[in-house]
Amino acid sequence: MHDPHQEFYDRLAAEWDLNFTAEDRERLSRRIDSFGVKPGMNTLDLGCGTGVLFDMLRRAVGETGSVTGVDFSFQMARMAHRNFPMSNVNVIDADAAALPFPDSLFDIGFSFNAFPHFRNKKATLDEAHRVLKHGAKFFVIHLVSSAELAELHKSVGGPLQFDELPNAQRMKDMLDASKFSDVKIEDHTGLYLASAVNIKE
Ligand SMILES: C[S@@+](CC[C@H](N)C(=O)[O-])C[C@H]1O[C@@H](n2cnc3c(N)ncnc32)[C@H](O)[C@@H]1O
């Protein structure tokens, strides 16, 4: 199904990396460091864009681990691939709601700055649950609150106009419905962080 976000992000891809200041990267890096990414892990980044998380994840997983990013904007995926041509970094041009991976492949999963844009959030969370291993953690991260992000998206307009993060209760319900456990949500100025553990039945 056609999604106007694809063209929107295709157009922004060439200059996307300029959005991040050194301070943003430092804050993000500190967050990622706190999530328990270990050497040898296979990591998943949904809506990876040009790969802003990749360097942080690569450092944490080392040469025996891997980083896999998924983005359905061809130009974003192309930039990510160009930025990170390493053999243990994979970039897949696909919809996060239909992941081309076998079950239980990844040790930990992230979606940074992307969840509000996913058209089919239920299918995306179901897919994240399917491809993560038993016991794997999944994180939805923004360095702003849901209210701050809603304002930003309104001001950007276009296909982003109504893209919002679910409030804490709604996000918890969504993660529960996709069979994640131990759901925790923080939503305050400067941070939205949802974390959950993947328990396979
Ligand atoms: C705001 S950008 C964030 C990119 C990157 N995570 C970052 O922070 O730089 C959102 C990304 O999500 C991607 N995206 C949106 N909907 C998607 C979907 N259904 N499947 C895969 N990627 C999607 C867009 O193409 C875009 O690259």
pLDDT tens by residue, 3-37: 999 999 999 999 999 999 999 999 999 999 999 99
> Which structural domains are found in the chain, ordered by start?
4-11+22-32+45-198 (3.40.50.150)
CA of 79 to the centre of ligand 1 (A): 13
**Sign of the alpha-carbon torsion through 152, 146, 49, 123:** negative
pTM over 0.85: yes
C-alpha to C-alpha distance for 116 and 137, rounded to whole angstroms: 19
**CB 54 near ligand 1, within 6 Å:** no
What is the per-residue pLDDT across 29-67, written as a single tens digit (0 to 9) for each?
A: 999 999 999 999 999 999 999 999 999 999 999 999 999
Residue whose CA is at the smallest distance from ligand 1 atom 17: 118
**CB 121 near ligand 1, within 6 Å:** no
Residue whose CA is at the smallest distance from ligand 1 atom 4: 49
C-alpha to C-alpha distance for 34 and 185, rounded to whole angstroms: 15
Q: Quick check: 111 and 57 in contact, CB under 8 A?
A: no
